[in-house]
Every structure is written in C-alpha cells, then in structure tokens.
Amino acid sequence: MMHATVGIWILSAVICVGTGHHHIGHGNDPANQETTLNGSANSVSLVTSANKEFAYRLYRKLAAHADSEGKNIFFSPVSVSVALAALSVGARGETHHQLFSGLGFNNSQLTQTDVDQAFQVLLKNAQSQQDRNEGTAVFVDNRFKPEPEFLGTLKQSYLADGFNVDFSQSNDSADTINKYVNEKTNGKIDKLVETMDPSTVMYILSYIYFKGKWATQFDPELTKEDLFIVDENTKVPVQMMILKHDFDTYHDQIIKTSVLRLRFNSTYSMLLMLPDDMATLENAFSPGHVTKWLKSMNSRTLNIYIPKFSIKTSYKMNDVLTEMGMTDMFGYRANLTGISEGHELVVSKVVHQATLDVDEVGATAAAATGIEIVLKSFSRVPVMKFNRPFMVIIIERNTENILFMGKIINPNI
C-alpha cells in the first residue's frame, strides 16, 4: 500500500551577541492572554515542567548517539517539543498516546486541548519578548486537503503560518521551506532541506531564534589565542575571551561541577557547566539541579576565560525519538487520522539543526588578541577557565525554561 509521507522539520537557532537591533514578533494582547490563562494556568505549568524533563531525556539520547563520534551537541528542546505537540494534534490512538507520553504529558492530567492552550500561552509569551522569536509553520501540498480542525488548531494554538506548495516540484518546495526558515532565523539556518520527497503532503515546522547581548561584554582587545583541551591527546587553538567581573557561580560538590552564570541584558542567562568528569554531570543533571544551582549561587570576582566559537549541528531524529517510545508514527502503524481521514499518513523524517555563536559583542566582531600586561593583572584573582569540554544551557531567568542545551567538546568543529 502507498503511504503518503508527512515530514516534520524542526529547526532552531542561534545565540549571537550583537549590537544590532532586532525586533521580533508582534505585540501581545494582554486581555487575550488573560482569557487563555484563565482556567489553564495549571496546564501551562504542567506542560512547562514536562518540557523541562523532556529536554534532559532528549539530551541524554542525543549524547549517547554523539559520544562515539566525539561531536558537539546543541539543540533547542522547546523547538522539538512544540513541533511534536503540533503533530500530536493530528495523531490518534496509540500513535497519540506515544507522542503524549514521549513528550512527558500525563494523560490523566492533561488533554490535547489543555496542551494546545498551554502552547498558545507559551508561544504568545515568547513572541512578546524582544530577544527571542519562536513560531511554527505548516506547508500543505496543493492537492492535499487536511482536516480543517487540524489546520485550525495549528493556526490558533500553535500560531502557525500556513502555506500551499507543490511538493511534486521537489526542488522548488525545498527552496520555499529553506527561504522561510532562513528568514525566520536571520540567515542562521539557510539550508534545512536538501530536496523533498515528492510524495510529501505536509511539513510541520518550528523555529526559534534568540539573540542576546551580555550584560557585561568582553573586551575584544583582551581576546587572545589559547589552547582548548579536547582530550588527553588533542589540543586545539581557540580565540579565548577574558573578562574580570563579579559573576554568580556555584560549585556542586556532589557531581563535581563548577557552574557559571553569564547574564544577558534581558531576563535570559547562559549557564556554563565545567565538570571534573563529563559523564558524571551528563548522567546526573536534571531540572532540580538547575533550580538548586540558581538558588545557591554566590557572586564573586572572577577571571573568566570563554572560547569564542560558532558551531552548527544537524540531526535526523528518527532513531532518538523511536528510542524514546515514539515509534508508531514512523511506521505502518501510524495513526494520523486527525490530519486526514481519507489518506494514510506516516512520518518519514524528523530533523533538527541548530547553531550557536559566542563572542564578545556580535557575530561579526573582529577578533583581537589580548596582551600580556592585562593577563598579569588578571592573575591576582581566582580563575575559571573553560578550556576543556563543558556544557551549556540557555534559560529564562524567571521560569527556568530551557531554550537551548548543549555540550562543547571542540569549539573548532
């Protein structure tokens, strides 16, 4: 039997620290949001905490796959959650059950409608913030007529942009999607799709773009070449940024990890985690750890050394999601009758790309080399030097929502 395919394209974006102005999203209607919040505040908090747990479970799966290859990891858990939740709108039976529990939603506490309303609140909130742009889109083949309820929910709750395309023109439809993604991520993700499977009938896509400016910026003149210790046998040259300032830090004795908070000039922070042993940190860490670290942090004067880097990651997530229990959507058992009663649909691919650029001020700032005189004066205060593999997450300060998560093994690849 022929199956039409449904591709789920997930992508996410970038941190670049810049001086440019970037206005994103549209204003939030407070009255509207209050109506939505009324009655669903509990759903929002259940979905939010499910999303956090999902971030760590997904990280561990991606790490297990990446470890053998010594690869960096970087992804946006919220982007994956949103796209899969949008798919679950059209899933039924066991396929729906697997998506729901894979995402960490508890059937006896949350209905699909609760989840949809919670994501509406979260996405509207995200769109009202200056340094963050987040949304979804759905691309539908000209000849394919999905259930109107499905599209309606995607547009209303997931704020989806809707497009009709001709997927039989596989290069043109790939271009259309790539152009959309490119624009939404300000050029950071410019080729999500190589070419389309001409049997595609629909793409669901989610994106997130974040651009933060450090509360205290690094002086490019102090940046100098240094070595990053990938492992016992490998050292690679990096441009090391240096800053002496008061920073919030915490040393977790139990998992032997030093944590540094770098604040953005907004409600966002980057947490950098430098473990004695990476596996100990990766196996142990959880939302509870982040809460504990943030609560227990002390401010003190430090010299910090952070490499400047730009990384790109690309994942095909079929295997990882299958291992997380979301199996049926990829095979003959797929029940996506909520998208279309008349067609048998199956998910062919879930892909994710992400980029991260870290520098003193902006993505295009000129590199500068630090001078020794400065370093001498720096040597009088304690040092925290990220010159070996470390982990990183970007969180919203108040909610501790995790926008991005990753591990930097080698800043040069």
Ligand X SMILES: *[C@@H]1O[C@H](CO)[C@@H](O)[C@H](O)[C@H]1NC(C)=O
Binding region for ligand X (CB under 6 A)? 38-39, 92-93, 106, 108-109, 171, 195, 215, 265, 335, 337
Find the residue with minimal CB distance to ligand X: 39
Nearest-approach distance from CB 205 to ligand X, in angstroms: 20
Three-class SS of 220-250: HHHCEEEEEEEECCEEEEEEEEEEEEEEEEE
Q: Which is nearer to ligand X, 106 or 142 (CB)?
A: 106
Nearest-approach distance from CB 247 to ligand X, in angstroms: 15
Q: In the 8-state DSSP scheme, what is residue 192? A: S
Q: Which is nearer to ligand X, 171 or 296 (CB)?
A: 171
Crossing angle of helices 112-127/77-88, nearest 10°? 140
Q: Which is nearer to ligand X, 16 or 391 (CB)?
A: 16
Say which residue the tokens 């520098």 belong to. Answer: 359
Quick one: which of 9, 6, 189 has its CA closest to 82? 9
Whether the CB-CB separation of 271 and 247 falls below 8 Å is answered with: no
Q: Which is nearer to ligand X, 109 or 291 (CB)?
A: 109
Q: Which is nearer to ligand X, 53 or 161 (CB)?
A: 53
Nearest-approach distance from CB 210 to ligand X, in angstroms: 16
Q: Which is nearer to ligand X, 79 or 340 (CB)?
A: 340
Q: How many residues does the chain have?
A: 413
Spatial separation of the C-alpha atoms in residues 279 and 255, rounded to whole Å: 10
Nearest-approach distance from CB 409 to ligand X, in angstroms: 32
Nearest-approach distance from CB 171 to ligand X, in angstroms: 4
Q: CB count, 10 Å around CB of 111?
A: 13
Spatial separation of the C-alpha atoms in residues 155 and 285, rounded to whole Å: 35
Nearest-approach distance from CB 236 to ligand X, in angstroms: 33
Spatial separation of the C-alpha atoms in residues 24 and 13, rounded to whole Å: 14
